[in-house]
A and B are shown apart, each in its own frame.
Chain A
């Protein structure tokens, strides 16, 4: 084979490897609370916040609460304050991993959130 072909081949293989790696690294399945507690990392967990356990640390805007589904209950730590309709939410989806005794959520989806409403409204 010509050098150019080799180069092309290498590029293609590298591209595919990168794509597959990135794909695998960014998969985030929807799981139950029990699975998250068992250490499954990088997951979406739909759960219901227990109202009495909701606490907001004002200085850091860290929200902690316990959430439950039919398989169990776990503590959730979310660092970005309390969404407006949080107490009213029938369900929230927390995204992250269970570490150090609590689910560290870096993202939380409350049903009917505000973020993309504009985009979504216009295109639907």
Chain B
């Protein structure tokens, strides 16, 4: 037992103790004090676990398997630290730390909910530390097999395998901590929801959990975006998002969390969704566990490209227990409580279009996308279980389904801020406005699919229909409604429409002519403009409610960037043979050299810092593109690792990556001959005289020699050459012969029994293709407006944090106001529950 094991086990036992003590906490304050103490203790020992792991990483204890696999001496301190979340065990630990930390925050701020929430929290922390106890980051490096004396001599290892090369960049230090902050935050709404169901209380919990739900969706969303940045910056396939199982399994929990946030808003403001919110709030955490199971257990290993790592059996069982126990428990409890939960209250009559119905539709949209992604991601597993053979689903599926989804969601996000909650006075007008908007959309689709695809007309018609409809609505509205709040609306809509028209016009002018995409982008521009207007009005009104709108705006801007950079991307293969100049993208491309250290590594691509330098020039400018290419030879899979090189302009990126590894290629002159046969290839006349053996058969150094007579125009007389194949380490290595003109003659293949030989002539003067040379197969992307992908999400992050803060403050006011009334029955419930 090493220190690491002991520390993990203590935290596991303390979290078990915390569960027990919190359960007993109903009896007396004393138990609660013990419980809090135990929980603090568990947290402290989880931190200690991380500290031990960091100590081992920093001090290079390569006898520990985790350290051996994810670190090495030459790494900088920063990446040694980051190694703590490079692998399976370490990232579980990161997840555990964040979860336990949130538990502390919640423990000291959840009032009457403390005990119930903490029972749930301690249980989850116990499960996670339990997984860590079995899937330990402290396991020893296994000794090498006995038939590997060289490895035996170097055991225990003096150095590690190092961080996987594609992880060794700045994103590695940012992305995992943030996305796990998001993953772990899913636990908080889950814990409150379960606690609410246990307590049979359906009001207070929402007020308490709401800011956390907003926080969780914000952090997880931002973590997802960072993952996209990482992919774009370092993986070299030219995009941000690929609908990969690993990505999807964090995407659908996020969608459900976003749906939960909106469900909670509806409940607090309108008394709606009270019965659904406990389920909605619990689902993201459960789905994340499911996602973890999918991506870490090897369940998808057969159908995925990825080498998913298998979990230790006991750890896997703990995970399965969390998954099945959680799902069955939550659904069972929720169904059991269904009849006791408050029926939806109707505060006042809501008819037609209102913010309430807009949010309801929004929740549906989020849930639909989540369910589709969930089914899609699970499909290989499901079909494998049913039919025995997995059926994969291509990523195009998600793009196709989400195209109309984005349109609809955009409309909802655009209109919701302008709708009143009641929808009474605005009812008719907004309904008409929406109809107009829908009419415009349907008209556009109708025209497009009717085959009338001439873009200018289509666009003009669409925008005219919409502008007319919006104007009509705005004017109508101004006529009917006196309040100032309303008076700005028509103008804002007008401005937004104008902005949309302008944006689409510019896009069209820039050569983006695909109507369906212009339509989507127009819709998104419209959302952003409307949201900006709404935010501006809120701030003017001195209200702190802009957060939500800012989030929506950031999201739409980010989406515009994603769609533009993806739909209008231009991708070209730029295959550059050494010494040639290739014209592509309006540039001349010329390979210069590789920067890898040949003296130290032999092959430049074996150097981790190898850059492939390519000169790119046109009449205006000249620069050097330096994508990195590295073959990681220390790992069994002999992976090639690519870092793209990106040149950014304000309106587009030039993204230089590799289509395939750089390769040495040659096209020799070939002659296939039998004994005494003669042929002419190029300027050479070649005659095969026969084989001769040299040395003892089969031993290293044994040579099969071919006697060949060669002549060429301009030579005085034919020469006899003896190219050979020599046995070296059980392989036949070619031993070429040099001709008088410095061309090389080699045996490409031979059949000694039949007396046949295939001769190859390389380095032929005047024939460049016969000179072996490096070919650099680049893949170059022109990606417009990626800047928006970088601009939008930070806005969404700020907006989300603003909203979380505001709801936290509001929540305190609400609880303070209603506490005498609501706290009392809550206390009774606690007692009744014992």
Give A residues with C-beta under 8 Å from B.
4, 7, 11, 15, 18-19, 22-23, 25-31, 44, 56, 58-61, 80-85, 88, 93, 109, 111-124
Residues of B within 8 A of A85 (CB): 637-640
Check A123 against B91 for contact (C-beta < 8 Å). Answer: yes
Residues of B within 8 A of A11 (CB): 408
Check B309 against A115 for contact (C-beta < 8 Å). Answer: no
Residues of B within 8 A of A29 (CB): 383, 389-392
Check A82 against B660 for contact (C-beta < 8 Å). Answer: yes
Residues of B within 8 A of A60 (CB): 575
Complex CA gap A121/B641 in Å reads: 13
Closest B-chain residue to A2, C-beta based?
B352
Given contacts A118-B166, A124-B309, could you give 4 more A-B pairs where the C-beta distance is less than 8 Å? Answer: A18-B400, A31-B389, A113-B305, A114-B639
Asked if B55 lies at the interface with its beta carbon under 8 angstroms from chain A, I say no
Residues of A within 8 A of B408 (CB): 11
Asked if B172 lies at the interface with its beta carbon under 8 angstroms from chain A, I say yes
Check A118 against B577 for contact (C-beta < 8 Å). Answer: no
With beta carbons under 8 angstroms apart, the residue of A28, A80, A88, A93 that contacts B638 is A88
Min CB–CB distance A41 → chain B (angstroms): 13
Check B638 against A117 for contact (C-beta < 8 Å). Answer: no
Complex CA gap A122/B171 in Å reads: 10
Check A118 against B230 for contact (C-beta < 8 Å). Answer: yes
Complex CA gap A29/B380 in Å reads: 9
Closest B-chain residue to A123, C-beta based?
B246
Asked if B235 lies at the interface with its beta carbon under 8 angstroms from chain A, I say yes
Asked if B718 lies at the interface with its beta carbon under 8 angstroms from chain A, I say no
Residues of A within 8 A of B176 (CB): 122-123
Among A7, A26, A81, A114, the one with the most B-chain Cβ atoms within 10 Å of its Cβ is: A114
Residues of A within 8 A of B352 (CB): 4
With beta carbons under 8 angstroms apart, the residue of A18, A44, A111, A114 that contacts B642 is A114
Closest B-chain residue to A118, C-beta based?
B166
Known: A82-B660, A122-B176. A27 touches B231 (CB 8 A): no
With beta carbons under 8 angstroms apart, the residue of B167, B389, B438, B577 that contacts A121 is B167
Complex CA gap A19/B522 in Å reads: 23
Q: Which of B82-90, B255-263, B732-740, B751-759 contacts A (4 or more CB under 8 A)?
A: B82-90
Check A116 against B85 for contact (C-beta < 8 Å). Answer: no
With beta carbons under 8 angstroms apart, the residue of B88, B577, B660 that contacts A124 is B88
With beta carbons under 8 angstroms apart, the residue of A28, A109, A123 that contacts B305 is A109
With beta carbons under 8 angstroms apart, the residue of A28, A61, A112, A119 that contacts B637 is A112
Complex CA gap A116/B242 in Å reads: 10
Contact flags B200-219 to A (C-beta < 8 A → 1, else 0): 00000000000000000000
Min CB–CB distance B624 → chain A (angstroms): 23
Known: A84-B631, A124-B295. A119 touches B401 (CB 8 A): no
Complex CA gap A75/B660 in Å reads: 20
With beta carbons under 8 angstroms apart, the residue of B164, B372, B777 that contacts A81 is B777
Residues of B within 8 A of A27 (CB): 391-394
Contact flags B223-238 to A (C-beta < 8 A → 1, else 0): 0000100110011110
Q: Which B residues between 241 and 257 are near A, CB-CB below 8 angstroms?
A: 242, 244, 246-247, 250
Min CB–CB distance B569 → chain A (angstroms): 16
A–B pairs, 12, beta carbons within 8 Å: A11-B408, A29-B392, A44-B392, A61-B660, A81-B663, A81-B777, A85-B640, A112-B639, A114-B640, A116-B306, A117-B166, A120-B307
Asked if B175 lies at the interface with its beta carbon under 8 angstroms from chain A, I say yes
Number of A-B residue pairs having CB atoms within 8 Å of each other in the complex: 167
Residues of A within 8 A of B179 (CB): 123
Asked if B709 lies at the interface with its beta carbon under 8 angstroms from chain A, I say no
Min CB–CB distance A15 → chain B (angstroms): 7
Asked if B454 lies at the interface with its beta carbon under 8 angstroms from chain A, I say no
With beta carbons under 8 angstroms apart, the residue of A15, A26, A59, A116 that contacts B246 is A116
Closest A-chain residue to B163, C-beta based?
A121
Check A119 against B244 for contact (C-beta < 8 Å). Answer: yes
Check A112 against B307 for contact (C-beta < 8 Å). Answer: yes
With beta carbons under 8 angstroms apart, the residue of B306, B397, B639, B663 that contacts A22 is B397
Check A59 against B393 for contact (C-beta < 8 Å). Answer: no
Residues of A within 8 A of B91 (CB): 122-124
Residues of B within 8 A of A83 (CB): 640, 660-661
Residues of B within 8 A of A112 (CB): 307, 637, 639
Closest A-chain residue to B445, C-beta based?
A14
Complex CA gap A119/B577 in Å reads: 32
Chain A interface main SS type: mixed
Contact flags B540-575 to A (C-beta < 8 A → 1, else 0): 000000000000000000000000000000000101
With beta carbons under 8 angstroms apart, the residue of A59, A80, A115 that contacts B659 is A80
Residues of B within 8 A of A31 (CB): 389
Min CB–CB distance B259 → chain A (angstroms): 17
Min CB–CB distance A59 → chain B (angstroms): 7
Complex CA gap A93/B372 in Å reads: 26
Check B575 against A119 for contact (C-beta < 8 Å). Answer: no
Check B397 against A23 for contact (C-beta < 8 Å). Answer: yes
Closest B-chain residue to A110, C-beta based?
B305
Asked if B335 lies at the interface with its beta carbon under 8 angstroms from chain A, I say no
Asked if B667 lies at the interface with its beta carbon under 8 angstroms from chain A, I say yes
Complex CA gap A40/B234 in Å reads: 36
Closest B-chain residue to A81, C-beta based?
B660
Asked if B102 lies at the interface with its beta carbon under 8 angstroms from chain A, I say no
Q: Which B residues between 288 and 338 are near A, CB-CB below 8 angstroms?
A: 295-296, 303, 305-309
Complex CA gap A93/B397 in Å reads: 20
- The 7 A-B residue pairs with the shortest CB-CB distance, nearest first, are A81-B660, A112-B637, A84-B640, A26-B397, A118-B166, A22-B400, A26-B394
Check B390 against A30 for contact (C-beta < 8 Å). Answer: yes
Check B638 against A4 for contact (C-beta < 8 Å). Answer: no
Known: A28-B393, A80-B659, A124-B91. A118 touches B234 (CB 8 A): yes
Known: A27-B393, A29-B389. A117 touches B659 (CB 8 A): no
Among B164, B438, B577, the one with the most A-chain Cβ atoms within 10 Å of its Cβ is: B164
Check B246 against A120 for contact (C-beta < 8 Å). Answer: yes
Asked if B775 lies at the interface with its beta carbon under 8 angstroms from chain A, I say yes
Complex CA gap A93/B302 in Å reads: 11
Asked if B404 lies at the interface with its beta carbon under 8 angstroms from chain A, I say yes
Closest B-chain residue to A79, C-beta based?
B573
Complex CA gap A123/B246 in Å reads: 8
Asked if B615 lies at the interface with its beta carbon under 8 angstroms from chain A, I say no
Among B175, B307, B640, B667, the one with the most A-chain Cβ atoms within 10 Å of its Cβ is: B307
Complex CA gap A15/B365 in Å reads: 11
Among A26, A58, A85, A121, the one with the most B-chain Cβ atoms within 10 Å of its Cβ is: A121
Check A119 against B309 for contact (C-beta < 8 Å). Answer: no
Residues of B within 8 A of A119 (CB): 227, 230-231, 235, 244, 246-247
Check B667 against A28 for contact (C-beta < 8 Å). Answer: no
Complex CA gap A15/B176 in Å reads: 36
Residues of B within 8 A of A121 (CB): 86-87, 164, 166-167
Check B639 against A28 for contact (C-beta < 8 Å). Answer: no
Min CB–CB distance A30 → chain B (angstroms): 5
With beta carbons under 8 angstroms apart, the residue of A15, A120, A124 that contacts B404 is A15
Closest A-chain residue to B773, C-beta based?
A58
Closest A-chain residue to B665, C-beta based?
A58
Closest A-chain residue to B89, C-beta based?
A124
Complex CA gap A108/B391 in Å reads: 16
Closest A-chain residue to B389, C-beta based?
A30
Check B775 against A58 for contact (C-beta < 8 Å). Answer: yes
With beta carbons under 8 angstroms apart, the residue of A26, A30, A44, A61 that contacts B575 is A61
Residues of B within 8 A of A113 (CB): 305, 639
Check A61 against B573 for contact (C-beta < 8 Å). Answer: yes
Complex CA gap A15/B663 in Å reads: 48
Residues of A within 8 A of B397 (CB): 22-23, 25-26
Among B296, B401, B408, B438, the one with the most A-chain Cβ atoms within 10 Å of its Cβ is: B401
Asked if B396 lies at the interface with its beta carbon under 8 angstroms from chain A, I say yes
